[in-house]
Amino acid sequence: MFLHHPINSSRLVVLLQQWARQDGERPGQSPSQPVNTNVAEHLAQWLSTVDAVKLSRALHAIETLPSNARSLGKKQVVDLPALDRLFEKTRADLHALVTAKVAARKPLRARADNTPVQAPDPQAEADYAAHGPRYLDLQKQMDTRLLTLRVQVRHALSQGAAGLQQLAALDAVMEQMLDAREQRLWASLTGHLERRLAHRHHKHLEALQHSGVADQPLRWRQPGGWLWAFEQDLQALLIAELQVRLLPITGLLEAAHNEKTGLQE
């Protein structure tokens, strides 16, 4: 069910590195650059001194959870099958959302003076403004669903064994502290996508120049067309982003499964 791989070999990092090479760019300090495989060192780059102090205090407070939980008789059995089903459903729903076929643009409405209806201008789709808002909207929907799922998983684990309670509390702290940085990184992906559109369009124009064939904008979205290829890129980026966004939740569920296995041994 769960994936085991270092962050710097994730589909998202690999995809952005591939795009950068194809675009002839040198990846900078961005999501496309492999992150430090030492989690502690990489995390230190994300946290300020104030954040580190807050984290230290939070960890100290979390250490007291086991004794408090036992004294309150709070420990319950975590329904892992239900959490697994919820996780799989959310992942499947979001995958279907980001891979849904784009509806054809509808003609403009006729005016009151019976001016003939105009067909959508395919040239407009060569502008990133025709695609960026859709990507941002899908990101927003993804963020909302995964935030809800993460809270639900955390709540379930907080009812379980002491170690799971500590993990749920730590995850809540880390989410709060890293959320702003993560949101900036997700927002930066639209820049990669915009450059990808420009790359696809440039290659298309180059091919036309070399072949001497006249351009046919109505075929851009047909299989093999440059906008069709860009649409595959957009979906690939969303799928890769979804994979990374799921990692914190995957980690919580893996810990719960490991806890159950340890108790059974």
**Chain segment 86-122, per-residue pLDDT in tens:** 999 999 999 999 999 876 665 555 545 555 545 567 7
Please give the sequence-ordered ranges of beta strands (E in DSSP) within the chain, or none if there are none: none
Reply yes or no on whether the pLDDT at 4 is more than 90.
no
Helix 80-98 and helix 132-157, axial crossing angle in degrees, nearest 10? 180
Say if CB 129 and CB 147 are below 8 A apart.
no
Q: How far apart are CA 223 and CA 34, in angstroms?
A: 33
Distance of alpha carbon 70 from alpha carbon 5, whole angstroms: 35
Q: Tell which phi-psi region holds residue 69, choosing left (phi > 0), alpha (psi between -120 and 50) or beta.
A: alpha
pLDDT at 61: 66
pLDDT at residue 62, as a whole number:
66
Please give the pLDDT value at position 39: 43
The predicted-structure confidence for 233-257, as pLDDT tens digits, reads as follows: 999 999 999 999 999 999 999 999 9
- Which one, of 98, 175, 99, 104, lies nearest residue 137 by Cα? 98
Q: Would you say residue 46 has pLDDT above 80?
A: no
Looking at residue 220, its pLDDT comes to: 94
pLDDT score recorded for residue 48: 58
Instruction: Report how far Cα 191 is from the mean position of its chain's Cα atoms.
Output: 15
Residue with more model confidence, 25 or 216:
216
Structure tokens at 230: 């860009």
**Mean pLDDT over each residue of the chain, to the nearest integer:** 80
**3-state DSSP assignment of residue 57:** helix
d(CA 184, CA 206): 34
The confidence score (pLDDT) of residue 25 equals 60
Decide if 232 contacts 131 (C-beta within 8 A). no
Question: How many CA atoms does the CB half-sphere of 200 hold within 13 Å?
Answer: 23
Residue 261 has pLDDT above 80, yes or no: no
pTM of the model: 0.79
Where is mean pLDDT largest: 82-96, 115-129, 153-167? 82-96
What sign has the CA pseudo-torsion 153, 154, 160, 162? positive
pLDDT on residue 264: 55
